[in-house]
Amino acid sequence: MLRYEYKVLTFYPRGLLLGSKLDTDKMEQVLNEWAEEGWRVLSIFTTQQHYSGTRQVVVILERPRSL
């Protein structure tokens, strides 16, 4: 039976609350580094802080576990 292991990455926007931006270049770099180690993206979601923009982006990675 194939088993998996999981990793959770969190990315935070930078800048002022309403004018904050996510560094997508850095996010891409980090995801590619994990992909080199066999991880793949299983899920991505954002969290919100009341009426402001995105508070964080959460990425869940998975890969087959070595026995």
Higher-confidence residue: 56 or 38?
A: 38
For the chain, domain boundaries: 4-64
pLDDT for 46 equals 86
pLDDT in tens, 13-37: 876 555 667 888 999 999 999 999 9
pLDDT for 23 equals 86
pLDDT for 52 equals 64
4-13, 34-43, 51-60: segment of lowest average pLDDT: 51-60
pTM over 0.75: yes
CB 5, CB 62: distance < 8 Å: yes
Overall average pLDDT of the 48-56 stretch: 71
